Amino acid sequence: MKLERRRLDNGLRIAVAPIADLRSTAVLLAVEAGAWFEPIGRAGVARLAAQTMLRGTRSKSASAFADAMDDLGAVARLDVGSHAAIFSAQCLRDDLGALLGLMAEVLRTPSLAPDDVEFVRGQTLAQLERDERDTRAVVDRVWRELVYPKLHPFHAPAIGDAAVVRAVTTDEIREYHQTAIRPDGAILVVAGAAPTDVVEQAAQRAFADWRVTAPRLVRKIPEAVLTATVRRTEVVPDKTQSDVLIGWPGMPRTDPRFVAARVTNMVYAADTFASRAGNVIRDQLGLAYYVFSGMGSSRGQSPWIVRMGVNPQNVNRAIEVALDELRKVTLGDIADDDLALAKDKLVGELDVALESPGGVASMVMEAELFDLGEDHFERYPRELRAVSKEQVVDTARTFLPPERHAAVVAGPPLPDIAA
Amino acid sequence: MIHALEARHAPVVSLWVWYHVGGRNEVPGTTGMSHFLEHMLFKGTPSHPKGDLDRLLARYGAQWNAFTNEDVTCYFETIPKARYATALELEADRMRNALVSVEETEAERTVIVSEREGLENDPSFLLGEELQAVAFSRHPYGQGVIGSKDEIKLMSRDGLYAHYRRFYAPNNAYVVVAGDDDAERLADMAAAAFASLEPSKDLGEPPKAPEPPQRGERRILVRRAGGTLPLVMMAYHAPRASDPTAPSLTALAVALSGTSGGSDGASGRSSRLHRAIVEKGLATDVDASFRLTKDPNLFWVDATLRPEIAHADVEKALLAELDRIAQEPITEAEFARVRRQLMAATAFATDTVTWRAYRCGEILSTGAAGSIADWYDKLAAVTRDQITEAAAATFSERSRNVGWFVPEAAD
């Protein structure tokens, strides 16, 4: 993969991965405006601001902006994650300049009109209401409440807290935009048909005079600690299947143990077919259709979680088996071939991810966002290969203690309540 | 039949094997059999016992999976190009040598029930399944794909194995491969891998159960406590993929709701339904879709309502928009946007090796066109008037099926 980097005077960093023989270009623009940077106790403000920004700019009404985006045939969205707000898009090769121009308008000069705030508030409250009967959303929300202190940015999902969403004012949205949507710390990644000089010129036109206009909010983040096992069962009426989430607070992406953690995750449960939890729970026992684990990438203790969809009759057993498999990992009961398989898979996936401009852009964004180094893509496969069984055991014992976990079940009433 | 495409931008190959068997080939009592069988194809062969396939492909970092729909069952692997021969060997092996044991059938049955139960948690699935059943009185498309829970529980190993031996054979399959090599070489390697396999002698005739014309609107209500937001769905009878109007219907769906879906995104917001339904505060999401299928199927329109909005109001607004697009051509500006979105969506999909191969297989297996380029040309040739004509031919009260999901309070 060819990767070239540039930096604008205002601090915006640019990374370009040109790919020959394509007709389109994938664009990711990350601004440090995720939950991590949200005002304390105002969960949902970042997402409300992002969605309102998409509803028109000072020079384009919502309708004119919609026309302009669809005139390009581009796809675009602005999502608020745990660390960054990421504008992700794809456009045809010759439209990159126009697309970056529209993205710049959204970020720099959104109209943020009261009517638009009300529209987004209505949409968001409806989605929050839907989430109350969505088992997957319920386990996610309740699990966060159990694991993260109330003032922690990960205490609530990105959609936020209903009370905050109801109360947010237009002024608050505007103030958040002014302090959080800024070029310093922002990263533009472009992968695909556009060559580097074209990207650089287009980025200069769109972002060179973007300036910081207010001091950044600095937030003190409390530590998340699980001192004992906590379990919660939430009955969601008229459902057939239970959603199960077992998890722990994870580690920052910049932690030197993160690479070993990725291998640990793969050995344990990352893949329904290749990891041991899926192998036993789905393949041997037929208890669930899906079982997988995931660990987030952020500056903080992102969730490290296992998810399963299970018949209510089998919930307790599935949880027990998932924890039994984890216990084996912590005791070093890991076959050499299982460890080799996990590492092979993670290294092999790096090659396969090159098949799409979006896949390339995502890999590059992670490396840039967390300052993983200019030689990251050369080092990373070697670092994965070098992870030892001892490191896997140590990571599991430190971060995934089976005797101290938080588990949430949402769905029909259980025949035998888990906790 | 083998089709190969070059995709030189990444060191990977994506191999897809399409079997002409799906929900369309099933009858009451065996619904879900093709999908159940898809699961059994991961349970090993004499050469590659259970788990072998998983571990081998995982070791190469493969992206791999399978799906079943009304028309086909499909298996794919996207792998580093150096491992292409291995993927071919695995797919050729399981085309004729899968072990479908009694023990593994029993073990997998609960997994499939679990898959179905997961779907049942979603009000859209519940309403869509019932509406599809109402829309078809004869054609097996009305049965869906995953099958009823009771029939999944009754499925026998012998029935599955007979289905396998009948339909999994080189004379009932398409192989589509896209990757970082000369197309001829990719095709030759595939031909060599599958050449010696025994054909099925029992394919029989393709299923024939033409759906009689619908003579008037059909309506259903689904009342459940398992969701909080009301839904309105409409399904109109529409032609098959090989029909000359299929490209116009594809464009019609884009004119109505764009290409990307989801109200959180910044795209598709210039579409007719987004403006009339979402922007007016009636619904959180709205969508219109036309799928390429072998037999005449349905054109779907659906909306997720805001909590305080009445079903009748949204249905009325949807019908007004469908009438409008059926009566007067979209503007030149709208038409230009629809064309651009269609062309861009084609480029986006085919710039990913996996989706380039998928798109080719979908177009070939349904008879929509002879190649991706051919389908692209057909889309590019659609005129404004053809979109209006497609809407007028489709959105008729006589062929309309309407479903409402009505949330109820919990007991």
Q: What CATH number should be reported for the domain holding residue B95?
A: 3.30.830.10
Task: Assess if residue B72 is contained within a domain.
Answer: yes
> Which residues in chain A have Cβ-Cβ distances shorter than 8 Å to B103?
none
Asked if B298 and B238 touch (Cβ cutoff 8 Å), the reply is yes
Go through chain A and tell me how many residues it has: 419
Quick one: pLDDT at residue A260?
Answer: 98
Place of tokens 């005129």: B383
As a whole number of angstroms, the distance between CA A353 and CA A365 comes to: 13
Superfamily of domain A230-411: Metalloenzyme, LuxS/M16 peptidase-like (3.30.830.10)
Q: Is residue B40 part of a domain?
A: yes
pLDDT in tens, A143-192: 999 999 999 999 999 899 999 999 999 999 999 999 999 999 999 999 99
| Contact list, B342 vs chain A (CB under 8 Å) | 73
CA atoms within 13 A on the CB side of B406: 11
pLDDT over 90, % of chain A: 93
Q: Which residues, 6+ apart, have CB-to-CB distance to A45 below 8 Å? A: A38, A39, A160, A164, A168, A172, A173, A176
- The pLDDT score that the predictor gives to residue B206 is 86
Note which residues in 359-388 of chain B have CB less than 8 A from chain A: none
Query: With an 8 Å Cβ cutoff, are B225 and A126 in contact?
Result: no
Q: Is residue B303 part of a domain?
A: yes
In A, residues 169-188, which contact B (CB 8 Å cutoff)? none
Say which of B274, B340, B411 has its CB closest to residue A73.
Answer: B340
Whether the CB-CB separation of B273 and B257 falls below 8 Å is answered with: yes
Question: How many Cα atoms within 13 Å fall on the side-chain side of residue B278?
Answer: 29
DSSP string, B171-222: GGEEEEEEESS-HHHHHHHHHHHHTTSPPPS---SPP--PPPPP-S-EEEEE
Extents of the domains making up chain A: 4-207, 230-411
Residue B282 belongs to some domain of the structure: yes
Count of CB pairs separated by less than 8 Å, A with B: 233
**If you measure CA to CA, which chain A residue comes closest to B226?**
A238
User: How much is the average pLDDT of B8-17?
Assistant: 97
Comparing CA positions, the residue from A180, A185, A202 lying closest to residue A80 is: A180
Say yes or no for a CB contact (<8 Å) between B284 and A79.
no
Subunit contact B118:A289, Cβ cutoff 8 A: yes
pLDDT at B243: 98
B 274-303 residues with CB below 8 A of A?
274-275, 279, 281, 284
E strand or H helix at A247: strand A242-249
Split at pLDDT 50, 70, 90, the class of A416 is: low
**DSSP symbols for B325-384:** HHHSPPPHHHHHHHHHHHHHHHHHHHTSHHHHHHHHHHHHHHTS-SSHHHHHHHHHT--H
Q: What topology is assigned to A4-207 in CATH?
A: Cytochrome Bc1 Complex; Chain A, domain 1 (3.30.830)
Assess whether B45 and B172 both reside in one domain: yes
Domain count for chain B, please give it: 2
pLDDT tens-digit readout, A355-365? 999 999 999 99
Contact assignment for A309 to B9 by CB distance below 8 Å: no
Which residue in the block uniquely carries the two structure tokens 């910081």? A212
User: A64 at the B interface (CB within 8 A)?
Assistant: no
Instruction: State yes or no: pLDDT of A58 exceeds 70.
Output: yes
How confident is the model at residue A216, as a pLDDT?
Answer: 85
Is A214 an 8 Å CB contact of chain B? no
Tell me which amino acid residue A283 is. D
- SS3 call for A229: coil
B residues 145-204 closer than 8 Å to A (CB): none
b/e per residue A189-208 (b: at least 16 CB within 10 A): bbbbbbebebbbebbbebbe
Selection from A258, A232, A259 nearest residue A247 by Cα: A232
**Residue B31 pLDDT more than 80?**
yes
Are A66 and B345 an interchain contact pair (Cβ–Cβ within 8 Å)? no
* Residue B228 and residue B170 share a domain: no
> Is B343 in the A-facing interface, judged by CB distances under 8 Å?
yes
Of A95-99, A216-220, B275-279, B305-309, least confident by mean pLDDT is A216-220
Mutate which: A53, A61, A70, A121, vs B, most B CBs within 10 A: A70
Examine the domain organization and report whether B16 and B160 are in the same domain. Answer: yes
Domain range spanning residue B281? Answer: 218-407
How does pLDDT run across A292-337, given as a tens digit for each residue?
Answer: 999 999 989 999 999 999 999 999 999 999 999 999 999 999 999 9
- Decide: A24 and A379 in contact? Cβ < 8 Å: no
C-alpha closest to that of B299 among B243, B358, B381: B243
pLDDT at B205: 87
Look at residue B261 in the predicted model and tell me its pLDDT.
Answer: 63
Q: Which residues does residue B232 pair with via DSSP β-bridges, in sequence order?
A: B303, B404
Q: Token match 């394509």: residue?
A: A22
Contact flag A311-B269 (C-beta cutoff 8 Å): no
Q: Which of B59, B263, B356 to mutate to test the interface with A (most CBs of A within 10 A)?
A: B59
Residue A108's φ and ψ, nearest 5 degrees, are -95, -40
Question: Looking at the domain assignment, is residue B38 inside a domain?
Answer: yes
Chain B nearest CA to A186, separation (Å): 20
Q: Quick check: B142 pLDDT over 60?
A: yes
C-beta of residue A30 within 8 angstroms of C-beta of residue A186? yes
* Domain co-membership, B17 together with B164: yes
Instruction: State yes or no: pLDDT of A418 exceeds 80.
Output: no
Q: Which of B283, B255, B257 is nearest to B382 (CA)?
A: B255
Question: What's the one-letter identity of residue B241?
Answer: A
Mean pLDDT score, B379-385: 98
Please answer yes or no on whether B259 and A279 come within 8 Å at the CB atom.
no
Mean pLDDT of chain B: 96
Q: Say yes or no for a CB contact (<8 Å) between A122 and B270.
A: no
- Comparing B260 with B134, the larger pLDDT belongs to B134
Chain A CB contacts of B286 under 8 Å are none
Paired tokens of A260: 């070993």
The β-bridge relationship of strands A288-295 and A303-310 is antiparallel
Query: Cβ of A103 under 8 Å from any chain B Cβ?
Result: no
In a shared domain, residues B26 and B100 = yes
- The answer on pLDDT for A419 being more than 50 is no
Same domain, B189 and B230: no
Inter-chain residue contact A274 with B58, CB threshold 8 Å: yes
Closest CA to A258 of A352, A391, A85, A152: A391
Q: Are strands A24-31 and A85-92 parallel, antiparallel or unpaired?
A: antiparallel
A271 → chain B, closest CA residue: B58
Quick one: average pLDDT of A386-415?
Answer: 97
Q: Are B322 and B397 in contact (CB under 8 A)?
A: no
Q: How far away is chain B from the Cα of A224, in angstroms, using its nearest Cα? A: 30
Last residue of a domain, one of B194, B210, B238: B194
Residue A417 has pLDDT above 60, yes or no: no
What is the Cα A339 distance to its own chain's centre?
26
pLDDT digits (tens, 9 = 90+) for B213-263: 999 999 999 999 877 899 999 999 999 999 999 999 999 999 999 997 667
Any domain includes B201: no
CA angle, A140 as apex, A302 and A338 as ends, to 5°?
60
Task: Supply the pLDDT for residue A357.
Answer: 97
Report the chain B residue with the minimal C-alpha distance to residue A311.
B114
Q: Is there a single domain that holds both residue B242 and residue B335?
A: yes
The encoded tokens of residue B198 equal 């025994």
Q: Which residues pair with B298 in a beta bridge?
A: B237
Cα distance between residue A166 and residue A267, in whole Å? 43
Average pLDDT, chain A: 95
d(CA A195, CA A97): 12
- Asked if residue B361 is part of any domain, the answer here is yes
For residues B315 and B398, state if they share a domain: yes
- Provide, as residue numbers in chain B, all residues whose Cβ is less than 8 Å from the Cβ of A237: 225-226, 410-411
Rounded to a whole number of angstroms, the CA Rg of chain B reads 22
Q: Residue B411: pLDDT band by 50, 70, 90 thresholds?
A: low
Query: Chain B within 8 Å of A62 (Cβ-Cβ)?
Result: yes
Same domain, B237 and B124: no
pLDDT, residue A272, reads 87
**Smallest Cβ distance to A66: which of B10, B269, B411?**
B269
CA distance B193 to B211: 39
Which of B54, B28, B30, B31 lies closest to B41 in space, CA to CA?
B54
Mean pLDDT within B174-198: 97
Task: Please answer yes or no on whether B264 and A238 come within 8 Å at the CB atom.
Answer: no
Which structure tokens are listed for B123? 């009000």
| B167 plus B37 within the same structural domain | yes
Residues of B in contact with A335 (CB under 8 A): none
How far apart, in whole angstroms, are the C-alpha atoms of residue A377 and residue A7?
20
- The answer to whether residues B88 and A374 touch, using CB atoms and an 8 Å cutoff, is no
Give the pLDDT of residue A234.
Answer: 97
pLDDT at A83: 86
What does the alpha-carbon distance between residue A308 and residue B113 come to, in Å, rounded to a whole number?
Answer: 14
Last residue of a domain, one of B194, B229, B256: B194
pTM of the model: 0.95
Residues B343 and B398 in one domain: yes
Q: Quick one: how far is CA B210 from the chain centroid?
A: 20
B202 min Cα distance to partner chain A (Å): 32
pLDDT digits (tens, 9 = 90+) for A362-393: 999 999 999 999 999 999 999 999 999 999 99
Q: Counting runs of H as helices and runs of E as strands, what totals does chain A give? A: 15, 11
What is the spatial distance between Cα A181 and Cα B20, in angstroms, rounded to a whole number?
52
